[in-house]
Chain A
Amino acid sequence: MASFRHVFVVIIGALIVSLMFAYVVVAGEGQSARTDEGLLIVTSIPVIADIIGEIVGDRGVVLSIVEPGVNVNTYELTPRDSTIIAEADLFFYVGYGAEEALGIYASAIRGGEGVVRILDLMDERGVIIDGNPYFWMNPLLAAVMAEEVGKVLSSIDPEGSEYYLERALKFKEEMERLDREIASILSKVPEDKRKLVTVRDTMRYFAERYGFEVVGYVTARAGTYEPSARDGVELAKAIVSNGITVVFIEYEEAGTTLREVVETVVDELGIESVGFIYVETYDPSRGVNGYRDMMLENARLIAKSLSGSEAHSSVMLAGGTIPIPLEPLEYKFMWRGLLALLASMIAASLVGAFAVLRGWAIFGDALSHGALAGLVVAYLAGAGFYLGALSAGLLVALIVASVERRTPLRADVIIAVTFATMLSIAILLLSKAGGAAISIEDVLFADVTAVAPEIMYRTLILSAIVVVFAVVVRYQLMMYVIEPTMAAALGLRTGFIHYALLTLLALTIVTSFLAIGYAPTIASMMIPPAAAYLLSRRPGEFIVKSVAIAALSAIIGFFVAYYLDTNAGATAVIIAALIFAVAVVSYKRI
């Protein structure tokens, strides 16, 4: 009966704590966004809100769900925002990439009523080129959008239709003035310098309007994108062949993997990257207070960066001297990627082999999400990301390790509990902070083709530590992971081994994440050991084969990815999975 009473007390306690928590979070946020008079128009991103605000004028209020300066990718829906979306008279969104998700949320919340996709309106006017969503980078098209929005507003507020028409005309005149102003700012850019390289294909409409040519970007895709092994190399080639000296970084890409790809290439070629170009948001903290400001700011940045008289890039293409199979290694950053991938996969598969025998196979998931929470805290506290991720990773390891030693709960249960909790903490922090200016996931989920030298060295050092530790205490480790009680009865320091193994796991996973990304790290911990398990009868053989399969997958995956133009980390994982599949098919039960 005593234990039943305990459970009861715990449940009641948890309920009280969650109610108090809910009260604290909701308190002070109870007031509705609704004003008693006028329209409430809600939009996805600030730039759209600003343009629509020009039309709505004093007939209502326009709000953006994502605040200025915040990356739409990091936005997490809160109950309060859902309420605002539900109460709005209309919800406007553009309809591209991660931003489209907000339109999907809004449709769900509002049962599909009063949700307007701006790209559909613009498509009907025939102004969209190849589905590229960034039409507002041409102010004349922003005026077109304003006119269309005016029509939609008139349909729900007929009394105001004349007012909206008048505002749209006035806005159009304003945009024509802005257009002339931008053209005049850009007039000092010489003809041969009118070439743009950006992170994504955001400057298409701008370039077309002002006589520029977009010659390179990492990807034309607007949504979530993992760089392929070739993206960096192709970007480098475009930069070199066009004599580019400056690459422009979009504000939204400040902390993304794609930006890292650009910076890696820029570093190696010895040219410059400048920021920021404002596309989907502006940043009042930098004195950029709306659509007009950001367009002028962009024009000034481009004019300043491209009108200098410095000589063209002196970078030469090394191509032609490198034999075809080694073409991916033409650039140093590709070497760094290969080494980081190899070192990470070796370390992860080695600790993974022991972890799998101990029943900790899913530990990587707990750590990745623990690290995510740590990154959010580090970001909000302005601390270093590696430090944040590592502290959170070690905390997860410590929690799992101590709960496992104190209770009879199985490791997989403890790991699953920890991982779900840490993930929720990350989401909670992000939602409370209203999102972040950078994409936290991008920091966590790095990419093989964008490995900075210090990250490569960090990865190599860590792998060396893991390999040395595993080799020196291999017998004790093996004894411990296959039979902890016997290890203790033999007088081994099982407490030390237990915590050391979990600490190394945490170190390996966090370091690998920040070097090669999430999927390759988690996969290397499990797939090579799983394949090796089927191909081995003895413990030494098992460990050696795990590491060999990981190393082989890294090398083959890297080159295959280059020639297939796919993501290197993911390709390496697929190679390992293929080896696993072969092992499954050829496995014979004795």
Chain B
Amino acid sequence: MKVEVRGKSACIVRNVTVKYGSNPHPALENVSFEASLGEMVMIAGPNGGGKSTLLKVIVGLVKPVKGNVKVLGRDPFKDPAIRRLIGYVPQITDLNLSAPLTLRDLVMLPRLAIKSSPWKGPRKEDIESVERSIKELGLEDHADKRISELSGGMLARALIARVLALDPILYVMDEPFESMDWESEEITMKVLRREKERGKLIIVSEHHISDDHIDYFDRTLLLKRRIIAEGRPRDVIEVYRRLGGS
């Protein structure tokens, strides 16, 4: 697929407004921001501030009523193929946890669904990529467990491993650290920083993140239906706390 991957144009959100159903209050109102490859951006803000909605707009799962979104030069809502270059980790997954699936299958399946040919099955590079991702997230001892047997933190790491195995250009992660302990967060952060070094764009929404990891982000947007602050993570968090957030 031919895509534009010039610096500033990796992800452009312009004047986006989103409304849900008959709710008169928009979930997002006139939100604009840009992010370039090699950046690590944090979206902070209170519950109900529109963090998840903004990420869904970027992934193309939610259509804005106003404004537009360009990911790598394409509109992800109109052009679903571009979504293959986005590694999305949803906050609430509708994954059927009772499905007969091992952790390894969970990591492998999206890759097969978008990359493999129906006649050949998993190729060598698919298997290598999956095994590497599992190892990087420290899950190799659990790879043969059924997903119903995984702990919450383990499953959260598995969801990171499966987007990693897709080798996307953009990572869009919705509160990925929520059910993680400090150790899982540390492992995940390490992987994300390495991906950033490799020139990927990483957008993470976060409600609370441990202090140790805040400085890894280049920028933080404070979102409360609109972007009310933008800047260095510590400064923005400081603003947020002063406004009465935690």
Contacts and interface: CB of A to CB of B under 8 A. Distances in A.
Contact of B83 (A358, A476, A483, A489): A489
Given A2-B22, A483-B94, A491-B81, 13 more contacts: A475-B113, A475-B118, A484-B94, A485-B61, A486-B93, A486-B110, A487-B113, A490-B114, A491-B84, A492-B113, A537-B102, A539-B100, A539-B105
Q: Which of B90, B100, B109, B116 has the most chain A CB atoms inside 10 A of its CB?
A: B100
Contacts, number: 88
Contacts of B109: 475, 478-479, 482, 539
A493 B80 CA distance: 8
B29 to A, nearest CB: 22
B196 interface: no
Given A472-B118, A482-B99, A491 B110 contact: no
A536 B105 CA distance: 13
A488 B61 contact: yes
Interface string A518-544: 000000000000000100111101100
B42 interface: no
A489 B100 contact: no
A357 interface: yes
B180 interface: no
A318 interface: no
Contacts of B112: 475
A475 B80 contact: no
Interface size class of B (residues with CB under 8 A): 20 to 34
24 contacts: A357-B96, A359-B96, A472-B118, A474-B118, A475-B112, A475-B113, A482-B109, A483-B94, A483-B95, A486-B95, A488-B80, A489-B61, A489-B83, A489-B90, A491-B83, A491-B84, A491-B114, A492-B80, A492-B113, A533-B100, A537-B102, A538-B100, A541-B100, A542-B100
A537 B146 contact: yes
A473 B118 contact: yes
B80 to A, nearest CB: 4
Given A475-B112, A475-B116, A492-B113, A483 B149 contact: no
Interface in A448-497: 471-476, 478-479, 481-493
Interface of A: 2, 357-359, 471-476, 478-479, 481-493, 533, 536-539, 541-542, 590
Q: Which 5 pairs from chain A and chain B are nearest by CB?
A: A491-B83, A491-B80, A479-B113, A475-B112, A489-B88
B28 interface: no
Nearest to A485: B94
Contacts of A487: 113
Nearest to A535: B100
A117 to B, nearest CB: 53
B160 interface: no
Interface string B211-224: 00000000000000
Contact of B90 (A478, A485, A536): A485
Contacts of A542: 100
Contacts of B161: none
B101 interface: yes
B203 interface: no
A537 B143 CA distance: 12
Interface in B72-109: 80-84, 86, 88, 90, 93-96, 99-102, 105, 109
B59 interface: yes
Interface string B15-37: 00000001000000000000000
Q: Which of B88, B99, B102, B114 has the most chain A CB atoms inside 10 A of its CB?
A: B99
By secondary structure, the B interface counts as: mixed
A538 B121 CA distance: 15
Given A475-B113, A489-B86, A590-B149, A481 B100 contact: no
Given A486-B88, A489-B83, A476 B113 contact: yes
A2 B146 CA distance: 45
A482 B86 CA distance: 20
A358 B100 CA distance: 12
B169 to A, nearest CB: 13
Nearest to A3: B22
Interface in B54-69: 59-61
A536 B149 CA distance: 14
B93 A471 contact: no
B165 to A, nearest CB: 12
Q: Which of B61, B82, B84, B118 has the most chain A CB atoms inside 10 A of its CB?
A: B118
Contacts of A472: 118
B161 to A, nearest CB: 14
Contacts of B86: 489
Contacts of A538: 100-102, 105
B96 A481 contact: yes
Contacts of A491: 60, 80-84, 114
Interface in B151-183: none
Interface string B40-58: 0000000000000000000
Q: Which of B61, B81, B84, B113 has the most chain A CB atoms inside 10 A of its CB?
A: B113
B82 to A, nearest CB: 7
Contacts of A488: 61, 80, 83
Contacts of B146: 537, 590
Contacts of B144: 537
A547 B31 CA distance: 51
Contacts of A490: 83-84, 110, 113-114
A589 to B, nearest CB: 9
B195 to A, nearest CB: 18
A539 B101 contact: yes
Given A357-B99, A538-B100, A539-B99, A483 B93 contact: yes
Contacts of B118: 471-475
B148 to A, nearest CB: 10
Contacts of B95: 482-483, 486
A483 B105 contact: no
Nearest to B59: A489
A367 to B, nearest CB: 22
